[in-house]
A and B are shown apart, each in its own frame.
Chain A
Amino acid sequence: AQSVSQHNHHVILSEAASLELGCNYSYGGTVNLFWYVQYPGQHLQLLLKYFSGDPLVKGIKGFEAEFIKSKFSFNLRKPSVQWSDTAEYFCAVYSSNTGKLIFGQGTTLQVKP
């Protein structure tokens, strides 16, 4: 069955540390890839997305993600996190094969000031 896996369920970092959150999917075919962020008490909002072209995608607030097709991965990165990045992060994958958008389990990021 198609699935999206986020390896880290809970990440704790100090401010200025670098961040990398893993996301792997098991789909074939053409995929559209997303990272959403949910700040405490708020709804999900789009962080960045990849449809085609340059596999290194830049999003809002200094986040970026790299699509590695051979590894079925779309990892999220930020060189230096801030306390305000404390949130839950969701990877999502749309597959043309299935016509469905599937979300990963989410990763809770806690940044200590």
Chain B
Amino acid sequence: EAQVTQNPRYLITVTGKKLTVTCSQNMNHEYMSWYRQDPGLGLRQIYYSMNVEVTDKGDVPEGYKVSRKEKRNFPLILESPSPNQTSLYFCASSLGPGTGAYEQYFGPGTRLTVT
């Protein structure tokens, strides 16, 4: 089954404790991205990757890191989480942008709470 998986689904942590949210897709998509969803703000892109070893900042990259060592995986790293990073996070993959097939496939989401 074609899918995007994320782990963990729920995470409660404390300020400053490094964490990683994993994301994996099995569709051989080149393009992957991370979004955060906040009430009234919709989805905002954090980082994206056009391919292996190619990553770039989205609209709200501060406080986050990513890596793309393999095509299927795109982990999101919070080196020193702060309460303002409490949010719902979605990983997505797609064939585009850059091709005609721009549909995004989303993971199930990770609800992060930073106290």
Contact = CB atoms under 8 A, between A and B. Distances in A.
Specify whether A and B are partners.
Answer: yes
A46 B103 contact: yes
Contact of A103 (B43, B98, B102, B103): B43
A90 B97 contact: no
In this complex, the interface size class of chain A, counting residues with CB under 8 Å from chain B, is 20 to 34
Interface size class of B (residues with CB under 8 A): 20 to 34
B109 interface: yes
Contacts of B106: 36, 43-45
A92 to B, nearest CB: 8
A105 B103 CA distance: 18
A71 to B, nearest CB: 21
A101 B33 CA distance: 11
Contacts of A101: 45, 97, 102, 104
Contacts of B43: 44, 90, 92, 103, 106
B41 interface: yes
A32 B42 contact: no
A51 interface: yes
A103 B97 contact: no
Nearest to A105: B42
Interface of A: 6, 9, 32, 34, 36, 42-46, 49, 51, 90, 92, 94, 99-101, 103-106
Interface of B: 35, 40-45, 90, 92, 96-98, 100, 102-104, 106-109
Given A101-B104, A104-B42, 17 more contacts: A6-B42, A43-B106, A43-B107, A44-B106, A46-B104, A49-B102, A49-B103, A92-B43, A94-B96, A94-B102, A100-B97, A101-B97, A103-B35, A103-B42, A103-B43, A103-B44, A105-B40
